[in-house]
């Protein structure tokens, strides 16, 4: 015996087969929570919580993995991603200031490559073996 409700039968007594549609709308102030399949240029912002492989092409011994938590991380001091335009700002305008004793150094984005999931950063000051930094999303 099959139990059913009247909603699943049409007026002839046969089953109604239907589907449910789902939309995926981008909410601008929640971009960081989107899937890792989304382009970095669209999802990276000051609230990012992705895991990144940080590499220094000039000195590979400095490479490490970094996990952001709502735009913050603690590697050699506390850091928080910033954007002068706030959450609505473009991904290429994200930066952060290094902590003491290098608090005068600003790390800012040079380029974003959506194909390789890579962000290339530059430093505002000179640091041996650290002038170019690449973050690759994991």
Predicted pLDDT at 5 = 56
Q: What is the pLDDT of residues 112-130, one digit of tens each?
A: 999 999 999 999 988 888 8
Give me the residue label for tokens 């700002």. 89
Full domain range(s) for residue 100 = 31-137
Q: Is the pLDDT of residue 46 over 70?
A: yes
- Cis peptide bond upstream of 101, omega within 30: yes
Q: Is the pLDDT of residue 11 over 80?
A: no
Q: What is the number of domains present in the chain? A: 1
Residue 45 lies in a domain: yes
pTM: 0.71
Query: Residue 93 and residue 115: Cα distance in Å, rounded?
Result: 19
Residue 38 lies in a domain: yes
């Amino acid at each position: 015996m099959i139990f059913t409700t009247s909603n699943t039968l049409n007026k002839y007594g046969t089953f109604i087969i239907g589907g449910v549609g789902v939309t995926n709308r981008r909410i601008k102030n929640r971009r960081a929570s989107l899937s890792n399949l989304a382009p970095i240029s669209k999802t990276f912002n000051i609230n990012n919580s992705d895991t990144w492989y940080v590499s220094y092409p000039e000195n590979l011994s400095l490479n490490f993995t970094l996990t952001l938590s709502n735009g913050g991380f603690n590697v050699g001091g506390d850091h928080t991603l910033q954007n002068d335009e706030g959450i609505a700002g473009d991904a290429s305008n994200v930066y952060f200031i290094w902590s003491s004793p290098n608090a005068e150094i600003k790390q800012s984005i040079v380029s974003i490559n959506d194909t390789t999931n890579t962000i290339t950063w530059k430093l505002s000051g000179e640091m041996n073996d650290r002038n170019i930094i690449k973050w690759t999303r994991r």
